[in-house]
Chain A
Amino acid sequence: MAKKIYETPMLDELENGPWPSFISGIKKLRDEHPDERIQEVTSSLLGQLEHSYETRKGYWKGGTVSVFGYGGGIIPRFSEVGSAFPESKEFHTLRVQPPAGNHYTTAMLRQLGDSWEKWGSGLQTFHGQTGNIMFIGTTTENTQHFFDEINEYGWDLGGAGPCVRTAMSCVGASRCEMSCANEHGIHRLLVNNFTDDVHRPALPYKFKFKVSGCPNDCQNSIERADFAVIGTWRDDMKVDQEEVKAFVATKGRQYVIDNVVTRCPTNALSLNDDDTLAVDNRNCVRCMHCLNVMPKALHPGDDKGVTILIGGKRTLKIGDLMGTVVVPFKKLETEEDYESLVELAEEIIDFWAENGLEHERCGEMIERIGLVNFLEGVDYDLDVDPNMVSHPRQSSYIRMDGWDEEAEKWFERKMEEAAA
């Protein structure tokens, strides 16, 4: 039977204009793909999408689809208008974890594309907002076949539902001079420690790890990750004064004063009369601005590590939350350092799994119980630190029965630090 072609006047409008058109791509599958199954599925998909454009409504509903042994990783989609568009009435997405940092060989992309052509619609996205490769559109039966095939050559599903989700890391050390951490290593170490929690959703809600190599935070981890790991350094930034002079000579003093010196959020920079740069490193907050403007002249220091912020998330339910500093600085050099990072993640997830309400993100739980209860509740050495707050308490409505002991703890910690 010849495939049915639907009229798509509204979608056709999206074939006009200079930007590459996803509609043209789907139509090419419909019109030119050798496999009749793909022709029919994509034709039907275009029919339903046009129907959405005309009525301004979506027509997919969820359901329960998973592969053998897993409880998540598939986004099930059944059409509510399947009788009108039957060939795409089951149109599930498989979320597949990309390599850390999103590096691919063309050979591997072709292999994945070939498998998806065999079992799915021939449509894919690199990547969805959580960071997964999205293989868009197949039947319940074929999800298993596709997964079996790609799983054999090294690919695994990501998370969907109340579970540890696919993690993300920036290009980082593989190409960026700002990198202060082994982003890809941290990414894999953390998320692959929780494969069981990725594949079998049993947490209060989603939990995301994101790793950025420097405070530019290209992975939006503070805003979007429950567990944000961000590279930083604690010694002096490196200044190549000859390159500073060269930059001043090219751009002019006014440019450097207007775009570097006066943009420093803590007034930690000064342009000397001889066109070298003076840096007040004790007051530098590692914001990255001056390094971004002068990448040849200024570099992160050598004593690198990470800052960890917990609890970032988007709107649902109580509104947007940024992550909060929970570990101001952590060295990641030795095997023990990395092991303790994993331990921190385990303890935080355990505490949240125990104390979080249904559908409550980790940051919302912290909002509900207070940061101090969180720090004290997590079975890990998390001492309060002024780097965790924008400013101390403003409200006097607080009982402080334990003040003397707490003050003593602070002084003991300071003595230990001084002795170390």
Chain B
Amino acid sequence: MADKPRSPIESGCPDAFQYMHPVMRKNYGQWKYHEHPKPGVLRHVAYSGDEIWTVRCGTQRILDIFTLRTLCDIGDEFADGYIHFTIRSNVEYMVSDEAKVEPLIKAIEDAGFIVGGTKNSVTMISHTQGWLHCDIPGTDASGVVKSMMDELIDEFRENNMPNRVHITTSCCQINCGGQGDIAINVQHTKPPKINHDLVSNVCERPSVVARCPVAAIRPAMVNGKPSLEVDEKKCICCGACFPPCPPMQINDAEHTKLAIWVGGNHSNARGKPTFQKLVAAGIPNNPPRWPEANAIVKSILKAYKEDAKDWERINDWIERIGWPRFFEVTNLPFTKYHVDTWRGARNSLNASTHIRF
């Protein structure tokens, strides 16, 4: 007879204090200020006078066990045995003594990781699973990020941007990658191709109908079998029907493209948080190095770096110079597809005589 299954311990989210650097634990809620001595290094000072030095580094994010152990070895030998991960999957080592900082940086770099990602840098691109593990991906996030970070590595290491730059990628239009100063997202350009033989077996048809944002899907009998049909004129090619109904294949080697969006900003600093806006589309989904998408991202970064004032995030910069100038300085075409048609679209139209010449 099989063993009785083990009941789970529903412990939920673990307490962080047991894994926290003792200086951080001791000064919890008692930090006074921080400084940024150099790229990749932060110095936080507590009211008690204690200090914690942080060294941040970028990795490949998909960590094999050898790499994870290397990161731990560095932590044990040079960094008091503690590791913190940022929201963008950067690794942070904390030490309580300034003298440990330089040997730590050397150990990180000798192991092939990249110190940086703080303040006015292009920090690690936040990314999703892609072809490596997702069930609905139009592209591979890890590969896009690797090829892009190869080209942006100096911007990760240095602080040459007007403010911090958060880049995100998403492998479908659900946009798990979230909002970014620059977002590289899949944009499908053709309606799904339906395998009618499979729909009735695989898909819960009413759920699929309900999932469509524009009510373009309806039940239908095709070749004597219950299936679904798509009004291709209404279809916005978003791919929302594909996850609940895989026979509605949306990914396509040629017609799945990339689009680039800018100006997403989560912070409330200066202005309220903003969502990203479409600036470029129709970009080939071109593995293994995605050169076309890379080139556009780099041209946007170049224009931003040259033209933005200190502390302007990309959305602040565009707010100041205006969209006509943005398209001018980035040499990107402005098309009818940039004019919004979704709910609330009218609020995005210019109802004034504020015109840029």
Interface residues of A (CB under 8 A from B): 10-11, 13-14, 16-26, 28-29, 32-33, 45, 49, 52-53, 55-62, 67-70, 75, 77, 91, 93, 97-110, 113, 116-117, 122-129, 134, 136-137, 147-148, 151-152, 154-157, 166-168, 170-171, 173-177, 179, 182, 184, 187-188, 191-192, 195-196, 198-199, 215-224, 255, 258-259, 263, 265, 285-289, 292-293, 295-296, 299, 314-320, 322, 357-359
B268 within 8 A of A: yes
Which 8 pairs across A and B sit closest by C-beta, in order of nearness?
A: A17-B150, A25-B64, A52-B131, A192-B12, A215-B268, A68-B5, A56-B253, A106-B72
CB pair A93–B270 under 8 Å, yes or no, is no
Q: Which residue of B lies closest to A317 (CB)?
A: B213
0 or 1 for each of B248-263: is its CB under 8 Å from A? (1 = yes)? 0001111010000000
Which of A104, A216, A316, A322 has a CB less than 8 Å from the CB of B269? A216
Which of B58, B76, B131, B240 has a CB less than 8 Å from the CB of A58? B131
CB pair B60–A19 under 8 Å, yes or no, is yes
A93 to B311, CA, bound (A): 40
B117 to A: closest C-beta gap in Å: 12
CB pair A58–B69 under 8 Å, yes or no, is no
CB pair A52–B31 under 8 Å, yes or no, is no
CB pair B69–A110 under 8 Å, yes or no, is yes
B354 within 8 A of A: no
Contact A105/B81 with A151-B8, A216-B269, A218-B87 known, Cβ cut-off 8 Å: yes
A387 to B: closest C-beta gap in Å: 13
A214 to B: closest C-beta gap in Å: 9
CB pair A11–B8 under 8 Å, yes or no, is no
A58 to B309, CA, bound (A): 42
CB pair A109–B72 under 8 Å, yes or no, is yes
Q: Which residue of A lies closest to B79 (CB)?
A: A106
Contact A176/B65 with A18-B153, A62-B135, A129-B126 known, Cβ cut-off 8 Å: no
CB pair B275–A223 under 8 Å, yes or no, is yes
B140 within 8 A of A: yes
Q: Chain A interface: which of B168-176, B218-226, B300-308, B329-337?
A: B168-176
0 or 1 for each of B222-259: is its CB under 8 Å from A? (1 = yes)? 00000000000000001010000010000111101000
A356 to B264, CA, bound (A): 28
B39 to A: closest C-beta gap in Å: 16
Q: A123-B62, A154-B14 are in contact. List 9 more A-B contacts (CB 8 A).
A: A19-B150, A20-B59, A28-B64, A52-B140, A53-B140, A61-B246, A98-B85, A220-B87, A222-B268
Q: Within 8 Å CB of A147, what residues of B?
A: 8
CB pair B266–A220 under 8 Å, yes or no, is yes
0 or 1 for each of B331-354: is its CB under 8 Å from A? (1 = yes)? 000000000001100000000000
Q: Within 8 Å CB of A70, what residues of B?
A: 8
A395 to B338, CA, bound (A): 28
CB pair B5–A174 under 8 Å, yes or no, is no
Q: Within 8 Å CB of B173, what residues of A?
A: 315
Q: Which residue of B lies closest to A367 (CB)?
A: B343
CB pair A148–B6 under 8 Å, yes or no, is yes
User: Within B165-210, which residues are at the interface with A (CB < 8 Å)?
Assistant: 173-179, 207, 210
B136 within 8 A of A: yes
B110 within 8 A of A: no
B143 to A: closest C-beta gap in Å: 6
User: Within B118-143, which residues are at the interface with A (CB < 8 Å)?
Assistant: 126, 128-140, 142-143
A258 to B18, CA, bound (A): 44
A174 to B21, CA, bound (A): 9
B side interface size, CB within 8 A:
116
Q: Return 14 A-B CB contacts under 8 Å, by A number.
A: A20-B112, A21-B60, A25-B60, A58-B137, A102-B84, A102-B85, A103-B82, A104-B82, A113-B69, A154-B11, A177-B34, A218-B87, A223-B266, A287-B269
Q: Within 8 Å CB of A196, what residues of B?
A: 10
User: Within B51-109, which residues are at the interface with A (CB < 8 Å)?
Assistant: 52, 54, 58-69, 71-72, 75-76, 81-87, 89, 94
CB pair B16–A217 under 8 Å, yes or no, is no
A293 to B149, CA, bound (A): 28
A107 to B81, CA, bound (A): 8
CB pair A156–B128 under 8 Å, yes or no, is no
Q: Which residue of A lies closest to B42 (CB)?
A: A175
Contact A10/B16 with A113-B68, A317-B211 known, Cβ cut-off 8 Å: no
A37 to B4, CA, bound (A): 27
B335 to A: closest C-beta gap in Å: 20
Contact A188/B15 with A25-B63, A53-B287, A215-B269 known, Cβ cut-off 8 Å: yes
A322 to B274, CA, bound (A): 9
Q: Within 8 Å CB of A123, what residues of B?
A: 62-65
Which of B14, B58, B268 has a CB less than 8 Å from the CB of A99? B14
A176 to B: closest C-beta gap in Å: 6
A71 to B: closest C-beta gap in Å: 11
A367 to B76, CA, bound (A): 50
Which of A116, A136, A320 has a CB less than 8 Å from the CB of B62? A136
Contact A13/B12 with A175-B54, A288-B269 known, Cβ cut-off 8 Å: no
B24 within 8 A of A: yes
Q: Within 8 Å CB of B67, what residues of A?
A: 20, 25
Which of A33, A58, A105, A128 has a CB less than 8 Å from the CB of B135? A58
CB pair B7–A68 under 8 Å, yes or no, is yes
A109 to B173, CA, bound (A): 33
A60 to B31, CA, bound (A): 46
A199 to B60, CA, bound (A): 30
CB pair A100–B44 under 8 Å, yes or no, is no
Q: Within 8 Å CB of B252, what residues of A?
A: 56-57
